[in-house]
Structure 1
Amino acid sequence: MQAIRSRDTQPERLIRRLVHAQGLRYRVAAKPLPDLRRTADLVFRPVRVAVFIDGCYWHGCPEHYVSPKTNAGYWSEKVARNVARDRDTDERLSQAGWTVLRFWEHESPDMCADKIARTVEGIRRCGDTA
């Protein structure tokens, strides 16, 4: 497990590069809430947007997750706990006024970056008129 990357994966780096090219600045692998022991892949603090790029295996992608043949009980429970923690994280951040965006690693980086940019810019525009 030590060799498995928890940050700076290829999908994350691609999406970060595209978001940065659109002029947006963000924090990488940061805690959106100080008292929550969970980190988002990209955090836009001023507009309260947290972005997660989930791996298909570790987060139980409905399209690509395949239960392992070795020690299936342990790994299936591990993935189920990850999914439950993801839902809990989404709920806690939403209750604190954050917008949560989740993408699967297999999704198009261009599409993900565009949705992130639209969301951040949309929130900024709404905040400017208030």
Structure 2
Amino acid sequence: MMANIKGKNTRPEIIIRSLLHRQGFRFRIHDKLLPGTPDLVLKKYKAVIFVHGCFWHRHDNCKLTSTPKQNKEFWVKKFAATVYRDGVNYFKLKRLGWRTAVVWECAIRDKAHLSNYIKTLAAWLRSESEYIEIPECHTEND
């Protein structure tokens, strides 16, 4: 089953790429030379964007983040390794002078706020801020 799960060119990724492109941003995708192989690389802004699935990357307090009941120990280890690897990659990118953004899958599903999220991401790209998460504050009650 896990072999069917795509890691690149996912629907959320394609949506973000399309919306940013419409805003006039130009980028490269999946640069293997950078830590974590970021989903989007905007060299002009010295910025990278990761489009993370809430389930796989463990978005805090998100209703899309659950842990399977079967083989729970395996899943907990797998998720912990993913979160740790993400942190290491963000740190490595920062040391190389790259700014990092994370766009969570739930932000893309939230059609009512998606255009605001893209505007926030565009403003971040034009700023000098080092890190941003979209959505910035998310709870199950949102």
Q: TM-score, normalised by structure 2?
A: 0.77
Which runs of no fewer than 5 residues in structure 2 stay unpaired? 109-113, 129-142
Query: SS at 1:30's partner residue?
Result: coil
Q: Which residue of 2 aligns with 1:69?
A: 69
Query: SS at 1:67's partner residue?
Result: coil
2:125 is aligned, of 117, 120, 126, to: 120
Aligned sequence identity (%)? 32
Letter of the 2:56 partner, please give it: W
Once superposed, what is the RMSD of the aligned Cα atoms?
1.6
Which runs of no fewer than 5 residues in structure 1 stay unpaired? 124-130
| RCO higher in structure (CA 8 A, sep ≥6) | 1
Query: Runs ≥4 in structure 1, deviation > 3 angstroms?
Result: none
Q: Which residue of 1 aligns with 2:54?
A: 56
1:19-39 CA-partner distances (Å, limit 9, x unpaired): 000111101122363xx3x21
Kept in 2, the 8 Å contact 1:61–1:104? The answer is yes
Q: TM-score, normalised by structure 1?
A: 0.83
**How far is 1:110 from its partner?**
2.4
Q: Which residue of 1 aligns with 2:39?
A: 41
The 1:54–1:60 alpha-carbon spacing in structure 2 relative to 1, beyond 3 Å, is same
Kept in 2, the 8 Å contact 1:32–1:50? The answer is no
Q: Which residue of 1 aligns with 2:139?
A: none
Kept in 2, the 8 Å contact 1:54–1:102? The answer is yes
Count of aligned residue pairs for this structure pair: 120
